[in-house]
Chain A
Amino acid sequence: MHPAFSVIFFTVASGAGFGLFSLLFIADVFKLGGGFEREQLIIGGLMAMALVVFGLLSSTFHLANPKNAWRAFSRFRTSWLSREGVFAVLFMPLALVYLASIWFDAPLWLRETSGFLTAVLAWITVFSTGMIYACLKTIRQWNTPLVPANYLALGYASGSLLLLLGAVVSGLDTTPYIAMSALILSIAAVLKAIYYFWISSPGLGPTINTATGLTRAKVKLLDTGHTHGTFLTQEFGFQIARQKAGLLKIVVFVLGFALPGLMLVWVFNQQGGQVAAIVAVITGIVGAAVERWLFFAEARHVVNLYHGAQRC
């Protein structure tokens, strides 16, 4: 699949935003490391919301006819893309209620209930983002429950690194934040490893024989019938060399998981505190972006069978 930059930015930014917001709620409930001040919670919450809003806006850049984008909320009952939009928009007012109840010192039940509901909604939204891809039977590399799991784990990993940076800047006891990041990062790394292992074996997918129905003999393409590229070759023809994909997987693990993990040790040992936390955030998010690029680049749509691929 052709990796569209706007979609990569959208999923990485909104995933990090949703992750940050829900973890911020957890940090607030349990007063992790002493607990954030009122203003710090508000700033953190608004930053998370900004990430979500930027992500959503950038996702509209890949629409060819954005003036009809408002209609995307209408097929909530069948389409994961529609659900994702509805949940993301519902998230906003709920998140504002939570932040307002912090600001105005509302009764604890209101603060915790709205915070909990916001966190759940954030979780559901990221799950829906993953399901946009996972529900497609046409792309073997996406049609697996590991996809929403990966989207959640990576979103929350980026969010936890942002939260750690917040804790370092605010001068809190960082130990619980380091522990949280370390746990989420390792879960995300393991899930990603399982995913890469899973898609590496071809499985029982369609072949050029079932695609053409000519199942009695070997089938090969003679001519695609078009003079130059078509919509289909532009959208689905993208291919990445196996070697390059392997290299990028190493980059994903080094930037996305290993370096942030190493930085956690530095923060823990009080070496360089802020700088280490900033490096952790940057490498973590760049790693997630590379992961997202590869997620598209490695996906092989079955329409390629009609263009000569023997299997996808």
Chain B
Amino acid sequence: MRLGLVIDLDVCVGCHACAIACKEWNASGTTGPLSDYQPYGAEPSGVWFNRIRHYEMDEYPNNKTVNFPMSCNHCEDAECVTVCPTGASYKRAEDGIVLVDQDKCMGCNYCSWACPYGARELDRSSGTMKKCTLCVDRIYDMELPVEERQPSCVLTCPAHARMFGDFDDPDSAVSRTVRERGGFGLMPELNYNPTNQYLPPRSKPVIPIEAHPRGGLKESIKQFANKLVRR
């Protein structure tokens, strides 16, 4: 199995609900807590597994706002695991999920240097590295109804911009969607082979920018008369 996410950049509305749901679930999950620093102070900051950034593509009138959620890509060639000196970072053989063993991590930050996607954040209060677990403590939970055995972010997204599934299965919904919509991984040139795939924004026809020519008084009267009189 190769579990991961599909994120639809055409659909995401940038509401940050996935990040909030992620924080809510994982704060009490296997790698919790996710510490906050000065949550109500002047400089609020803290640990998040999922962050949403906002970009603008192209120039007016072809411009488009792209909301961009990012979390761990559970890379096939995860250098973050290779460089970890303690063995705290590991990639599970059975489903490809990349995790950090909180009991082994020494907080050297080295893995975060190796990650191109900014997916790893050090928790200052525990002194250990934290990252997206793909809700490993939820997707296998037999106590939950089948449809809820998905990562929190996927379940919560109000726009249905996120999908979860197995990329090793060519007939899974995620594999099919990626094929049909031309999904891509980020920064392919670094060869990390990220599992998560992004669906590109669809091209839409440009909304014409020339103002509709408005006639003078004579034209208006003519239009008004045309509305009244049926020929």
Q: Check if A and B associate.
A: yes
A244 cross-chain contacts in B, Cβ below 8 A: none
B55 x A221 contact (CB < 8 A)? yes
B56 x A303 contact (CB < 8 A)? no
Given contact pairs A81-B110, A230-B45, A231-B122, A74 touches B85 in the complex (Cβ within 8 A) = yes
A307 to B43, CA, bound (A): 18
A75 to B201, CA, bound (A): 42
A200 cross-chain contacts in B, Cβ below 8 A: none
What is the interface size of chain B, counting residues whose CB is below 8 A from a CB of the partner? Answer: 63
The answer, among A67, A214, A235, for a CB contact under 8 Å with B109, is A235
B62 x A223 contact (CB < 8 A)? no
Shortest C-beta distance, B18 to chain A (Å), equals 12
Shortest C-beta distance, A302 to chain B (Å), equals 5
A213 x B53 contact (CB < 8 A)? no
When each residue 66-88 of chain A gets 1 if its CB lies under 8 Å from chain B and 0 otherwise, what string results? 11110111110011111001000
Q: From B42, which residue of chain A is reached at the shortest CB distance? A: A228
Shortest C-beta distance, B189 to chain A (Å), equals 6
User: Would you list which residues of chain B between 107 and 123 have a CB under 8 Å from chain A?
Assistant: 107-110, 112-118, 121-122
When each residue 159-191 of chain B gets 1 if its CB lies under 8 Å from chain A and 0 otherwise, what string results? 000000000000000000000000011111111
Contact count band on A: 35 or more
The answer, among A69, A74, A226, for a CB contact under 8 Å with B87, is A74
Which of B43, B84, B113, B185 has the most chain A CB within a 10 Å cutoff? B113
A72 to B81, CA, bound (A): 13
A74 x B189 contact (CB < 8 A)? no
A80 to B201, CA, bound (A): 40
B124 cross-chain contacts in A, Cβ below 8 A: 64
A219 x B84 contact (CB < 8 A)? no
A236 to B114, CA, bound (A): 12
Of A133-141, A174-182, A275-283, the one contacting chain B is A133-141
How many A-B pairs with Cβ below 8 Å?
179
B54 x A72 contact (CB < 8 A)? no
Given contact pairs A65-B127, A137-B190, A221-B55, A212 touches B68 in the complex (Cβ within 8 A) = yes
A63 x B118 contact (CB < 8 A)? no
Given contact pairs A75-B87, A220-B56, A223-B54, A210 touches B107 in the complex (Cβ within 8 A) = no
Given contact pairs A231-B47, A306-B70, A79 touches B104 in the complex (Cβ within 8 A) = no
User: Would you list which residues of chain A between 176 and 221 have a CB under 8 Å from chain B?
Assistant: 206, 210-214, 216-221
Q: From B113, which residue of chain A is reached at the shortest CB distance? A: A136
Interface check B66, CB cutoff 8 A? yes
A231 to B184, CA, bound (A): 27
Shortest C-beta distance, B23 to chain A (Å), equals 13
User: Would you list which residues of chain B between 66 and 110 have a CB under 8 Å from chain A?
Assistant: 66, 68, 70, 79, 81-88, 103-110
A72 to B127, CA, bound (A): 15
Given contact pairs A68-B105, A206-B116, A218-B58, A74 touches B190 in the complex (Cβ within 8 A) = no
When each residue 297-312 of chain A gets 1 if its CB lies under 8 Å from chain B and 0 otherwise, what string results? 0000111001100000
Interface check B51, CB cutoff 8 A? yes
A269 cross-chain contacts in B, Cβ below 8 A: none
B108 x A302 contact (CB < 8 A)? no
A132 to B113, CA, bound (A): 10
Shortest C-beta distance, A305 to chain B (Å), equals 8
User: Would you list which residues of chain B between 3 and 31 have a CB under 8 Å from chain A?
Assistant: 9, 16
A64 x B127 contact (CB < 8 A)? yes
Q: From A73, which residue of chain B is reached at the shortest CB distance? A: B85
Given contact pairs A65-B126, A68-B106, A214-B66, A225 touches B83 in the complex (Cβ within 8 A) = no
Interface check A106, CB cutoff 8 A? no
Interface check A224, CB cutoff 8 A? yes
B116 cross-chain contacts in A, Cβ below 8 A: 137-138, 206, 211, 302-303
B112 x A81 contact (CB < 8 A)? no
B215 cross-chain contacts in A, Cβ below 8 A: none
Q: From A78, which residue of chain B is reached at the shortest CB distance? A: B82
B112 x A62 contact (CB < 8 A)? no
Interface check A229, CB cutoff 8 A? yes
Footprint of A on B, CB under 8 Å?
9, 16, 38, 43-45, 47-48, 51-59, 62, 65-66, 68, 70, 79, 81-88, 103-110, 112-118, 121-122, 124, 126-128, 184-191, 198, 200-201
| Beyond A64-B108, A213-B186, A227-B44, 11 additional pairs, beta carbon < 8 A | A63-B127, A64-B106, A66-B106, A71-B85, A72-B85, A73-B85, A137-B79, A138-B114, A214-B9, A217-B58, A228-B45
16 inter-chain pairs at a CB distance below 8 angstroms, sorted by A residue, are A65-B127, A68-B103, A68-B105, A72-B85, A79-B84, A137-B116, A137-B191, A138-B115, A210-B187, A212-B66, A216-B58, A221-B53, A225-B52, A229-B43, A303-B115, A306-B70
4 shortest interchain CB distances as A-B pairs? A64-B107, A65-B127, A64-B127, A217-B58
